[in-house]
Amino acid sequence: MQTTRMTMAQALVRFLAKQRVERDGVSNPLFAGMWGIFGHGNVTGMGQALEEVAELPFYRPQNEQAMVHASIAFAKMKNRLQTFACTSSVGPGATNMITGAATATVNRLPVLLLPGDTFAGRMPHPVLQQLEYPVAGDVSVNDAFRTVSRYWDRIVRPEQLIASLPEAMRVLTDQAETGAVTICLPEDTQTEAYDYPVALFEERTHVVDRPVPAEAALARAVELIWAAERPLIVAGGGTIYSEASAALAALAERCGIPVCETQAGKGALPWDHAWNAGPVGSNGGLAANRLADQADLVLLVGTRFADFTTASRTAFQHPDVRFVAVNVSAADAHKAGATPLVGDARATLDALADRLTAAGYRTGDDYAAEVARLKGEWDEAVDALRAVVAPDALTQANVIGVVNEETGPRDVVVCAAGGLPGDLLKLWRPVDPKGYHLEYGYSCMGYEIAGGLGVKMADPEREVVVMVGDGSYLMLHTEIVTSIQEGRKLIVVLLDNGGYGCIRGLQMANGTPSFGNELRARDGATGRLDGPVVPVDFVRNAESLGALATHARNETELRDALRQARLANRTTLISVAVPFDPGVPGFESWWDVPVAEVSSQPDVQAARAEYVEHRKRQRVLI
Ligand SMILES: Cc1ncc(C[n+]2csc(CCOP(=O)(O)OP(=O)(O)O)c2C)c(N)n1
Ligand SMILES: [Mg+2]
């Protein structure tokens, strides 16, 4: 056997550079590069290898969590067919990636994490930043990655790479299993040499097929749909990853089935497609929520069917409602007692459409008329919420409307947490399947700017507009620096409402007075955080990091600022002050957030009574 002698880290870099992914005959490198922050746990191992082997582009972020966010945003934009690897030092550098790992795994987005680990040989232990775990000698902080990774390994001998890497690549490229893959690299093992087989470094292409469910499973689903008078499709993120928009539109049009959308699925159909009934669930709109309420058959496509989509299992009230779930992941396809169709979304929708049209299935004209009427009403409601009424002030809904109007059809809006995701779901009008990028699986504050950078790196031709609350911005905004470093321009629209508006709203709607969510100083008299507003100048903050920045106080200033930002060649932040109350109501829906069962406060007692009432509508779907 022909071998080549190199360190474990050198072998790893070489191997990663040779991996490719292919779908529909199109092939690309699996790894667009490696992000990393060096410390003693990786600089002389992985760092040395990256410099010498030089086969993978290297990117340096400002924060390890952020580099994972950037990687998975990139992967999401690439429909999970390409991602990054991330190297960190031992200890805090490694554990900073855990939140990113969870975000990846919850959202089923691939990323390869390579945390440095303490010495496999243990001679100098305890080393700087080592967790000493008195009851088990083989545990390090990196064991904390296990629960948030789809595959986890620790390489304590250099030859273990040969067995571990194929498994890691399989999981990363498997559309059902993908998520964070973590391979822990003890700092001594990274530097140890081994005679690796040359074959390990040959180019390898991982093919992503489009599996279709068994014929019998399709027949069962067709039979259920055939019996339905009020069917409804719920389009989730898998629809977009599978590039199933045309297949979805064809099924909807040919069979007369309205489509509603989740956060990850929004954009699968353009907002103005005749059969797009808009968003469903807790943050859904009028049309989709009314259709869901009375649907007798729900066809779930590529959705995790989480609580915001099901309105905490109150969205579907037809007494005999049945579910059919198309999903590449069997775990998702079997949720809520659904008839499972385990397969690729596009291929399965094509197969269903063929069989349903061959059988002559189409819903009645009265259903089509009802969908059109509800859609019309919903579109009017959105217009009204977006319309600017005050000449000298803007609501969050107004800002969303103006930003949407000022962006082009291929531009991408990026968001993750706060009150914005719900309002964007209702009010943003995408026309391109990649135009609406929400991380709402983990809804991780701090994803926004790092994620925006990942999106921009995935498709530099598109303008990327990051919409972010002041709270999320303060939690993690330093990838602005990386955007300048990489020459990747972002337009950041910051909604400054003086704190955690959505959580304050949730708190007060459930009977507790405003407490702990506003950005206020401690008051000497009350001893609480209800003193004066803590002044933060977000414009000067962004400028200090190298961005262009401006305030926008009204519609004219916001439009001007957005146009300037489009012309600029550098990341630009636009700060807009908005009231705490975003002014966007819920639409006949609910979200299960538990309220205190016992309290001396009458408002909490009333909220609890209301909560108990709402829970009666919650359905057991098995
Ligand atoms: C990392 C993280 N910590 C806490 C939360 C819980 N949380 C959700 S929204 C939110 C407040 C967000 O504030 P901001 O970004 O200003 O948006 P706003 O609510 O004001 O719209 C908090 C604390 C979260 N989603 N992520
Ligand atoms: Mg806020």
Residue 503 CB less than 6 A away from ligand 1: yes
Task: Share the mean pLDDT of the chain.
Answer: 98
The number of angstroms, rounded, from the C-alpha of 391 to the middle of its chain's C-alpha atoms is: 35
The number of angstroms, rounded, from the C-alpha of 226 to the middle of its chain's C-alpha atoms is: 34
Measured from the CA of 446, which atom of ligand 1 is nearest?
Answer: 1
Measured from the CA of 396, which atom of ligand 1 is nearest?
Answer: 21
Would you state the pLDDT for residue 581?
86
Q: How confident is the model at residue 437 (pLDDT cuts 50, 70, 90)?
A: very high
Using DSSP's 3-state secondary structure scheme, residue 585 falls into: coil
Residue 419 CB less than 6 A away from ligand 1: yes
User: Which of 63, 426, 445 to mutate to test ligand 1, by most ligand atoms within 8 A of the CB atom?
Assistant: 445
For residue 495, how far is its CA from the centre of ligand 2 (angstroms)?
A: 7
The 10s digit of each residue's pLDDT in 333-354 is 999 999 999 999 999 999 999 9
The 10s digit of each residue's pLDDT in 313-323 is 999 999 999 99
Helix (H) or strand (E) holding 163: helix 161-173
Q: What is the DSSP letter of 512?
A: P
The 10s digit of each residue's pLDDT in 359-402 is 999 999 999 999 999 999 999 999 999 999 998 999 999 999 99
Residue 445 CB less than 6 A away from ligand 1: yes
Residue 578 CB less than 6 A away from ligand 1: no
Q: Whose CA is nearest to atom 23 of ligand 1?
A: 500
Would you state the pLDDT for residue 2?
98
Quick one: angle between helices 215-226 and 345-358, nearest 10?
60
Residue 498: nearest ligand to its CA? Answer: 2
For residue 437, how far is its CA from the centre of ligand 2 (angstroms)?
A: 20
Residue 502: nearest ligand to its CA? Answer: 1
33-58 mean pLDDT: 98
Helix (H) or strand (E) holding 218: helix 215-226
Residue 543: burial class (beta carbons within 10 Å; 0-12, 13-18, 19+): middle
Percent of the chain with pLDDT over 90: 99
Residue 446: nearest ligand to its CA? Answer: 1
**Which two structure tokens, joined as six digits, stand for 596?**
């205190």
Would you state the pLDDT for residue 560?
98
The number of angstroms, rounded, from the C-alpha of 449 to the middle of its chain's C-alpha atoms is: 13
Residue 411 CB less than 6 A away from ligand 1: no
pTM value is: 0.98
Residue 471 CB less than 6 A away from ligand 1: yes
Residue 100 CB less than 6 A away from ligand 1: no
Q: Which residues are within 5 Å of ligand 2 (an ion), measured at CB?
A: 469-471, 497, 501
Q: How many CA atoms lie within 13 A of 442 on its CB side?
A: 22
For residue 497, how far is its CA from the centre of ligand 2 (angstroms)?
A: 5
Yes or no: say if 251 and 349 are a contact pair by the CB < 8 Å rule. Answer: yes
Measured from the CA of 502, which atom of ligand 1 is nearest?
Answer: 19
